[in-house]
Structure 1
Amino acid sequence: MPRLAPAILLAALIPAKVAAQTTEAWQAPTLSITRYDEDWSDLADAEKRGHHWTGQFKYIPITDDIWLSTGVELRARNEDYKNNLWGGGDAPDDSYLWLRALPYADLHVGRVRAFAQPVIAYAAGVRPSASPIDQTRVDMLQAFGELDLGPVTVRGGRQMLSLGTERLVGTRYGPNVPLAFDGVRGIVSIGKSKLSLLAMKPVAPGPGSFDDRTSPTKALWGAYATLPRLDLYYLGYRNRAAKFGGQQGREERHTLGVRYYGASHDWHWNIEAAGQFGTFADKKIGAWTVATEVGRTLSGIPLSPDATVRFNVVSGDTHRDDNRLGTFNALFPKGKYFGELSPVGPTNIISLNPRLSAPLGKQFSASVAGMGYWRYATADGVYDIPGNLIRAPGNSKARFIGKEAEVTLAWQATAELELSTSFSVFAPGDFIKETGPAKTIRMIGLEGNFRF
C-alpha cells in the first residue's frame, strides 16, 4: 500500500493532530522519511516548545546560534508468506519479524549543520537466512555535513535520497534496511523551484555491525529540477558488474525524464515518462517507461473516498540476440513498488492498478486495490524490484503474468503511533504457469510504527 504505508500516513495525519494541540500561529512540520527535511527552527520560541511533549526533543537550545533536534522511529513488522514467488522461492512458506530503530540527531551551528542517523535493524525467522536488506544489525544509515549559503546548499557524506515519487531513486523504506548513498549533493533554490545536483555511490549493507560500505561497482550522478507541477531530470548510472539476459558486463546508462503532477478541485494526477540510452557490454541501450496516475476524491458520497487508477508501461528486451538492450533499469526504486506484496518490479511490464481508499473515522483508514500485470516483451522475463531476473522467458509467448488483490487497514492510535495490516493475494497467469511453479501467493502484513 504505497499511498497508505505508515510513513505516508504519518506524514499526512500527524501534523493535523499536533497542530490541534498548538497555537494557530504555528504548525508542526510534516514528519518525513528523510528526517533531515523537517525544519523545527520555529521552536526557538520556548512557548511553542511547550505545547506538545515532543517539543523539548525537537528543539534543544545550546547557545544563541547552536541548537539540536532529535527524534526516533521504532518499527516492528511481521510478514507471513505462503507460496512466495509462486512456490519457487527458497522458503516459499515463511513468517518473519523485522525490528528497526532509526534515532537521529540534527545539530545546527549557524549556517553549518551536522546530521547523524544510526540504523538498528534485526530480523527473526527469515528463511533460509536473513539478507543484509533484512538485517544489518547496528550501522550508520546517514551521516553528513551541510553548508547553507543562502540560495545554495551543499551537503556531503552519507545520506538518503528521495527524488520525485521514487520511481527511479528512493529510500527503500518498506524493507527493513533503507537505502543510503555516499557522496555530494548541491541544492539550488530559486523561488518555488529547486535544482539538485548529485554525485553519489549507493551504500551496500553488510550482515554485521558497522560493515556497511560504499558500493565498489555502482555510481549515480545527475541533475533533478523541481518546478511548480513539473519535474525535469537527468540521471547517469554506472554498474561494472551488471547482468541482463544471462550476460554480465559494464553498464553505463543515461536517463532523461519528465514528471507532471498536481491537483485541482477533486482531481489529482501524476504522470511521468523517461527514456534511457547508453551501453551494456557490447550492446547499445534503448529503453523507456511511461507511468500514469489519475485520481479523484468522490466528495459527494459517504466517507469521500479517493478513487485512483495507475497504468504503467516499462520496456523490456524485444530481441535476445541482437546488439540492442531494451530492458529498462529502474535504478534504485522505492521498496514496495506496486503494493505491500510486490513480487514483480518495474521492468518489462505493463500494469493496471485501480485503487479505492478512504478515511473511516476515529483515525482509521482503509484501501482496496486490484492489480494486473503483463510482460511488455515476450523475449524478456520477469524481474523483481531491485532488477534481478526472477523468471526467465523460456519458450513462453504468453504475456499475462498474473493478477493481484490487496486490502489494507491503518489506525493512527496516537499522534506518534500507527498500526496497520494488509492482506494480499497474487494469482499467477499464463506466463508463470508455463515457466515454472505457479501457486497463488498469499501475504499478511502486520506493522506498528512509533515516530516523533
Structure 2
Amino acid sequence: MDLLHDLDFGIDDGPAYTQFAGRLLGNADLRTRAGPRLFLQMAVAQQTGRRPGPKPQDESAIDVTQVFVDAPFRLGEVSGLVRLGRQELDLSGNRLVTTRDGATIRRAFEGAKLDLNLKGSRLSMVSARPMDLRDEAFADRADRTERFNAVSLDLPPALSPGGQATLYYLDRQRQDAHWLRAQGRERRYSMGVRYLGHVADWRVETQATWQTGRSAGHPVRAYGAALSLDQEFAPDRPIVLGFDLVAASGDKSGTRTIETFDPVYPNNFGLSDAPLFYQTNYVFGGGSVSTRWAGATWTAGANLLVRHSTSDSVYANSRPIPGTNNAQRPTSLLPQVSMRRPFSERSEIYASLVRAQALGGLRAAGGHNALYSRVQITTRF
C-alpha cells in the first residue's frame, strides 16, 4: 500500500492518492552440467487507486519479464559468458543502470550481453532495448524507439586498492527525451568511473559521470557525481551511520547547451522512498542512522535537496514540474523513518514514512508539503 498527498507537491493540481498494489513473480531455472542455462521469469502486477492513473509498470496481465539463454565458454586464460534474450542488467552496481523494484514490473531489456574475465578483471558489453510494457497478457515487447549500448570494465585488484574500481561507457538513444529546453530525439553518451570498497573502516561508494551528445539538435554537456559512506558501530547492538552527497547538473542561462543530467535508468528510491523527484538538476545531501531492535531494522534519516541551477526546473516522473524554474534554489527537506522486519526465512514486512517539506523553489510554484507512506509485505515460496 502506498499513500501520497500530494503528487508534485500539489503543483498544477497534482492529486493525492492511496494505492493498493500487488505483484506475483514466478521463476524457472534450468542449468546443465555442461554449462548452458535457460532462465524464465513471469509476472503479474495489479493496482487500484493510483492517480492520475497507473504507469505501464504498475499494471500488467501475465507476461514474460525475463527469458534468456546463458552460454559459458573458455578461450585460453579467458573465461566468458554470452547471455541472449530478455534480461535484467547489472553493470557492477552502476547507479545509472538499476532494476525497478517494489510492487511493479521490474526493469528489463531485450538483447545481448557478453562478459569476459581475465586475471581478476571483467569486461562487460551490452546491446539491448528496454521493454515496452503493455497491459495485455504476453504483449510486452522491446521498445523500438530506444536503444542502449554499454561497455563496463572492472579493473583488476592491483588497480583497485581496498575495493573494486569500474570504468564505464554508456550510449543511450531515444526519441522522447523531455527536458526544459529540449524535447524529442536524443543520443547521449555517459562515461565515468565507480569505486566500491573500504577506507579506514568506512564502506565507500563513489561514482562520477560526464555526459555528451545531442538532444533535439542541441549539444549536451552534463555531469553527475555521488558519494556514500557507511560505518557500523557497537557490535552488541549494531548501529550503522550513513552519509550521502549527490549532485547532478542542470541547464544554465545564456547557452543553448543541454546541461541537464540524464540519470539513464535510475533507482526508483534513490532520494527517498517517496516517488516525488527525478534525479537531475539537484544537489542532495544528508545522513541516516540504523539499528536493530525487537527483531527489526529501524532507520531514521533526513536529506536536503536544492536545485543545482535556478535556470532549470525541478523534475519528477522524467519531466519538469511546471513553474519550478524560478529564482529559489532550496527545494525540499526529506525526513524519513522506516522499519524492516522478517517474520520467517522467506517473508518480511517493510514500512516507511516520508514527510517532504516544500521549500522556496516549490512554494514559489504553488507547492505545499507532501506526505508519503508505504507498507509492503514480501513472501518467497
Is the alpha carbon distance of 1:104 and 1:216 closer, same or farther for their aligned partners in structure 2, counting shifts above 3 Å? same
**Aligned counterpart in structure 2 of residue 412 of structure 1, from 342, 345, 368:** 342
1:238 maps to 173
**Aligned counterpart in structure 1 of residue 245 of structure 2, from 294, 311, 315:** 311
Displacement, 1:200? 0.8
2:360 maps to 430
Displacement, 1:309? 0.7
Where 1:432 maps in the other structure, the secondary structure is helix
Is 1:253 the counterpart of 2:188? The answer is yes
Displacement, 1:266? 3.4
Where 2:57 maps in the other structure, the secondary structure is coil
Displacement, 1:128? 3.4
1:64 maps to none
Where 1:250 maps in the other structure, the secondary structure is strand
2:160 maps to none
Shifted more, 197-206 versus 80-89: the winner is: 80-89
2:11 maps to 88
Contact 1:100 1:122 (8 Å CA) reproduced: yes
Is 1:399 the counterpart of 2:329? The answer is yes
Contact 1:90 1:127 (8 Å CA) reproduced: no
Is 1:98 the counterpart of 2:21? The answer is yes
Write the mapping of 1:240-319 to structure 2, written as runs, cut at 5 A. Answer: 240-245=175-180, 247-264=182-199, 266-299=201-234, 303-319=237-253
Displacement, 1:283? 1.2
Where 2:9 maps in the other structure, the secondary structure is helix
Give the letter aligned to residue 162 of structure 1.
Answer: D
Q: Deviations over 1:394-423 (max 9, x none)?
A: 4x2110001011000111111100111111
Displacement, 1:90? 6.3
**Aligned counterpart in structure 1 of residue 279 of structure 2, from 327, 335, 346:** 346
Displacement, 1:140? 0.8
Displacement, 1:393? 3.6
Distance 2:117 2:224 in 1: 29
Where 1:435 maps in the other structure, the secondary structure is coil
Displacement, 1:89? 7.0
Contact 1:381 1:393 (8 Å CA) reproduced: yes
Give the letter aligned to residue 431 of structure 1.
Answer: G
Normalising to structure 2: TM-score of the pair? 0.92
Write the mapping of 1:326-345 to structure 2, written as runs, cut at 5 A. Answer: 326-345=259-278
Contact 1:174 1:336 (8 Å CA) reproduced: no
Distance 1:411 1:89 in 2: 38
Give the letter aligned to residue 422 of structure 1.
Answer: S
Write the mapping of 1:5-44 to structure 2, written as runs, cut at 5 A. Answer: none
1:421 maps to 351
Write the mapping of 1:183-262 to structure 2, written as runs, cut at 5 A. Answer: 183-227=111-155, 228=157, 229-245=164-180, 247-262=182-197
1:111 maps to 35
Distance 1:259 1:92 in 2: 38
Distance 1:166 1:335 in 2: 14
Where 1:224 maps in the other structure, the secondary structure is strand
Contact 2:15 2:52 (8 Å CA) reproduced: no
Distance 1:258 1:175 in 2: 31
Is the alpha carbon distance of 1:175 and 1:373 closer, same or farther for their aligned partners in structure 2, counting shifts above 3 Å? farther
Q: Deviations over 1:177-226 (max 9, x none)?
A: 21110100001122433221000110011122222121121111021122
Shifted more, 411-420 versus 79-88: the winner is: 79-88
Is the alpha carbon distance of 1:192 and 1:377 closer, same or farther for their aligned partners in structure 2, counting shifts above 3 Å? same
1:127 maps to 51
Contact 1:370 1:405 (8 Å CA) reproduced: yes
2:257 maps to 324
2:161 maps to none
Return the structure number with greater strand share.
2
1:440 maps to 369
Displacement, 1:331? 0.7
**Aligned counterpart in structure 1 of residue 319 of structure 2, from 374, 380, 388:** 388
Contact 2:282 2:307 (8 Å CA) reproduced: yes
Displacement, 1:132? 1.3
1:373 maps to 305
Where 2:58 maps in the other structure, the secondary structure is coil
Distance 1:222 1:283 in 2: 23
Distance 2:278 2:14 in 1: 20
Q: Deviations over 1:82-110 (max 9, x none)?
A: 22321237662211111101111111232
Distance 2:176 2:350 in 1: 38
Is the alpha carbon distance of 1:218 and 1:163 closer, same or farther for their aligned partners in structure 2, counting shifts above 3 Å? same
Where 1:87 maps in the other structure, the secondary structure is helix
Where 1:324 maps in the other structure, the secondary structure is coil
Where 2:363 maps in the other structure, the secondary structure is helix
Where 1:325 maps in the other structure, the secondary structure is coil
Normalising to structure 1: TM-score of the pair? 0.78
Displacement, 1:115? 0.7
Q: Deviations over 1:55-94 (max 9, x none)?
A: xxxxxxxxxxxxxxxxxxxxxxx00122232123766221
Where 1:130 maps in the other structure, the secondary structure is coil
Q: Which residues of structure 1 form unaligned runs of 5+?
A: 1-77
1:27 maps to none
Contact 1:330 1:387 (8 Å CA) reproduced: no
Is 1:154 the counterpart of 2:85? The answer is no
Is 1:357 the counterpart of 2:290? The answer is yes
Contact 1:402 1:429 (8 Å CA) reproduced: yes
Is the alpha carbon distance of 1:276 and 1:145 closer, same or farther for their aligned partners in structure 2, counting shifts above 3 Å? same
Distance 1:86 1:393 in 2: 11
Q: Deviations over 1:311-352 (max 9, x none)?
A: 011001112x63311011011111211121141122000001
User: What stretches of structure 1 move > 3 A for 4+ residues in a row?
Assistant: 88-91, 391-394
